[in-house]
């Protein structure tokens, strides 16, 4: 049956170097998918795509076509960046090549005129190029060709991982079948696979030297199941930038995009943490980054080769497993019914329970996972070889302010074995921003929930402060009067009656008794004098503008930030920023009055230290 298409990202694990002169010879002599004539035809297609991609990216194309001899001197040291394979590790059929080139031509013309762009969009919505592959039926037969040196344990682990996470099922064969579809795992030259089920006979998947990590094996199996690379999605420009200045012109074709019509992602969306995503240095010719995440906090997230992400797994389950369960469950936070256990939800990272409505399981020593943000700064911390998950919830309508105050992790990119993952976006089905080399440049969640995941090893640690934002977000309890009244308040969500900046007014009624009601009208705060106000409470924090103090003035409670002197190490809490003037540091709130700065020295916002 013709399959609907998935577009996912791929980039493989960093791996040992290869002898550049061996690649092309290997590829046409049994360790690759081509005979020499097929390989040269493949190169012709790559040259066409390379020229189109140069026009799209507005860079100078190579003056002459790339030859096999050229590629021998250009081979990278990564086994998944084979220059004469599509995007480094994918083998395409002639039909797939033709469709991809046609789609890229459409993208080229879409840039030339608004009319072509309109026609391209219409064409994309009409055309379903699902002929890029046929969907598999389960179980998928596979054979491990140990005679080629294939690593049996690595391949079995990758197969088992996909079976554990999805309804996909595989059957191991003792010999390669003479007819019918099957996967043949070999140890070829590098890491590569065909896309989806091809033809009516067996197809190879190469798990060569440097390709045996779990994430890399899952990556290549993902291609066989139908995944393209994540950064090749049609909407990738909304998430990453391609830095052409660091890409050799001969490799521009490795950064092409798929068309809208060639993919169906089942509403899952772009995932920085997909096991199918390139890393930041893919096909770099300068040692500089070739991919930059538009949200810089995700730079160390792209390119992970640990295992399929929640979004990777969800796409496969939605594509292949939608009919596995007939019951319904009210799965929350992006969870869905687990096709391997229809009585439970499959939960996104950080969540657990039958319905994904509580924090996920943590190691002993992590503390409470479900946390409530208040107006007071609170702290979570962990150290050592633990896995901790925290779900911090603020009142509905508020957001979670957070600040990572300390961290010690092994520096790597992408972050792999130990890091702090902070998911401050509203969609928890996608991997959060991972930090092991830097601190967050953002301090506010997009919704009233924040997910924090600590994955540690011996010597690792973190500490994070949090509270809800804005700090004045609260309403006081309605003022009690001796008359029956209808109370009208400003439309702020209600939490514990501790602090407030809202005003409550009362209006006498006649003999009819009414239940109190809340409306969305805004009332004018009454004018009060200092004599009408009680004393200020103590400040809830000692420094950095991290705390608040309150006082009651008649029928309302006034709350303000306090102790705005910088904390030790030179940091301040949102909405304050640490700035210096004439060598003196202070916490400045944007828009508020600040010390006068002469034209000889300008205050510069400093990154938080420590």
Q: Is 538 helix (H, G, I), strand (E, B) or coil?
A: coil
DSSP 471: T
Continuous H helices in 77-213: 94-112, 114-126, 152-165
Q: Is 552 helix (H, G, I), strand (E, B) or coil?
A: strand
For residue 575, whether the previous peptide bond is cis, meaning omega lies within 30 degrees of 0, is yes
CB-CB contact of 155 with 221 (8 Å): no
Tokens of 571: 């940091």
Q: Is 219 one of the annotated binding-site residues?
A: yes
Longest Cα–Cα distance in the chain: 97
CB-CB contact of 215 with 200 (8 Å): no
Query: CB pairs under 8 A, 24+ apart, for 33-37?
Result: 33/91, 33/188, 33/192, 33/194, 33/204, 33/206
Q: Is 223 one of the annotated binding-site residues?
A: yes
CA distance 149 to 151: 6
Q: Is 229 one of the annotated binding-site residues?
A: yes
Q: Which residue shows structure tokens 């076509």?
A: 65
CA distance 515 to 345: 40
CB-CB contact of 5 with 130 (8 Å): yes
CA distance 115 to 380: 54
| 220 included as an active-site residue | yes
CA distance 182 to 176: 8
CB-CB contact of 176 with 184 (8 Å): yes
Rounded to the nearest 5°, which phi and psi values hold at 578?
Answer: -80, 120
By DSSP bridging, strand 387-393 and strand 370-372 are parallel
What are the C-alpha distances in Å from 256 to residues 40, 52, 228, 475? 20, 9, 11, 53
CA distance 461 to 366: 11
For residue 414, whether the previous peptide bond is cis, meaning omega lies within 30 degrees of 0, is yes
CA distance 596 to 312: 53
CA distance 607 to 610: 10
In the set 220, 230, 421, 558, the catalytic residue is: 220
Q: What is the DSSP string of 45-106?
A: HHHHHHHHHHHHHT-PPPSS---HHHHHHH--SSTT--TTSBTTTEE--HHHHHHHHHHHHH
Angle 251-253-255 (CA atoms, 0-180°, nearest 5)?
A: 90
Q: Is 522 helix (H, G, I), strand (E, B) or coil?
A: coil
CA distance 214 to 220: 10
For residue 118, whether the previous peptide bond is cis, meaning omega lies within 30 degrees of 0, is no
CA distance 86 to 42: 9
| Binding region for Zn(2+) | 219, 223, 229
Which sequence positions are flagged as catalytic?
A: 220
């Amino acid at each position: 049956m013709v399959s609907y298409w998935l577009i996912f990202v791929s980039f493989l694990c960093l791996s040992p170097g290869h002898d550049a002169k061996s690649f092309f010879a290997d590829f046409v002599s049994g360790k690759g998918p081509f005979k020499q004539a097929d390989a040269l035809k493949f190169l012709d297609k790559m040259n066409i795509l390379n020229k189109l991609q140069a026009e799209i990216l507005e860079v100078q194309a190579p003056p002459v076509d790339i030859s096999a001899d050229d590629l021998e001197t250009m081979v990278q040291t990564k086994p998944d960046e084979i220059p004469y394979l599509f995007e480094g590790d994918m083998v395409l059929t002639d039909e797939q090549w033709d469709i991809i080139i046609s789609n890229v031509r459409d993208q080229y013309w879409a840039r030339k005129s608004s009319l072509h762009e309109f026609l391209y969009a219409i064409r994309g919505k009409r055309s379903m190029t699902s002929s890029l592959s046929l969907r598999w039926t389960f179980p998928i037969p596979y054979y491990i060709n140990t005679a080629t040196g294939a690593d049996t344990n690595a391949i079995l682990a990758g197969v088992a991982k996909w079976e554990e996470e999805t309804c996909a099922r595989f059957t191991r064969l003792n010999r390669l079948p003479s007819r019918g579809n099957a996967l043949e795992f070999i140890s070829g030259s590098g890491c590569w696979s065909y896309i989806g089920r091809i033809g009516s006979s067996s197809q190879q998947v190469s798990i060569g030297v440097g390709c045996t990590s779990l994430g890399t094996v899952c990556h290549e199996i993902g291609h066989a199941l139908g995944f393209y690379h994540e950064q090749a999605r049609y909407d990738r420009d909304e998430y990453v930038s391609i830095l052409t200045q660091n890409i050799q012109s001969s490799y521009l074709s490795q950064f092409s995009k798929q068309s809208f019509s060639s993919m169906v992602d089942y509403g899952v969306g772009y995932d920085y943490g997909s096991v199918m995503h390139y890393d930041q240095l893919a096909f770099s010719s300068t040692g500089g980054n070739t991919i930059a995440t538009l949200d810089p906090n995700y730079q160390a997230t792209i390119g992970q080769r640990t295992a399929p992400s929640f979004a990777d797994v969800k796409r496969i389950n939605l594509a292949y497993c939608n009919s596995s369960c007939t019951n319904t469950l009210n799965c929350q936070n992006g969870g869905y019914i687990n096709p391997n256990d229809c009585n439970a939800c499959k939960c996104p990272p950080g969540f657990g329970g039958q319905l994904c409505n509580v924090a996920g399981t943590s190691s002993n020593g992590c503390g409470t996972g479900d946390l409530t943000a208040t107006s007071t700064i609170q702290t979570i911390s962990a150290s050592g070889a633990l896995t901790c998950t925290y779900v911090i919830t603020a009142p509905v309508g508020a957001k979670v302010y957070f600040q990572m105050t300390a961290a010690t992790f092994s520096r790597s990119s992408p972050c792999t074995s130990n890091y702090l993952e902070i998911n401050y976006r509203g969609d928890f089905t996608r991997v959060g921003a991972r930090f092991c080399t830097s601190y967050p440049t953002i301090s506010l969640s997009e919704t009233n929930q924040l997910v924090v995941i600590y994955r540690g090893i011996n010597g690792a640690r973190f500490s994070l402060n949090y509270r809800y934002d804005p700090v004045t977000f609260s309403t006081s309890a309605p003022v009690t009067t001796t008359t029956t009244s209808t109370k009208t308040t400003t439309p702020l969500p209600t939490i514990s009656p501790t602090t407030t900046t809202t005003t409550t007014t009362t209006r006498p009624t006649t003999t009819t008794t009414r239940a109190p009601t809340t409306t969305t009208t805004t009332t004018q705060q009454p004018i009060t004098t200092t004599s009408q106000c009680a004393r200020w409470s103590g400040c809830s924090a000692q420094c950095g503008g991290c705390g608040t103090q309150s006082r009651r003035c008649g029928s309302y409670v006034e709350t303000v930030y306090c102790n705005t002197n910088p904390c030790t190490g030179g940091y301040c809490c949102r909405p304050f920023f640490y700035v210096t003037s004439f060598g003196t540091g202070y916490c400045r709130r944007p828009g508020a009055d600040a010390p006068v700065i002469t034209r000889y020295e300008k205050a510069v916002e400093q990154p938080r230290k420590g």
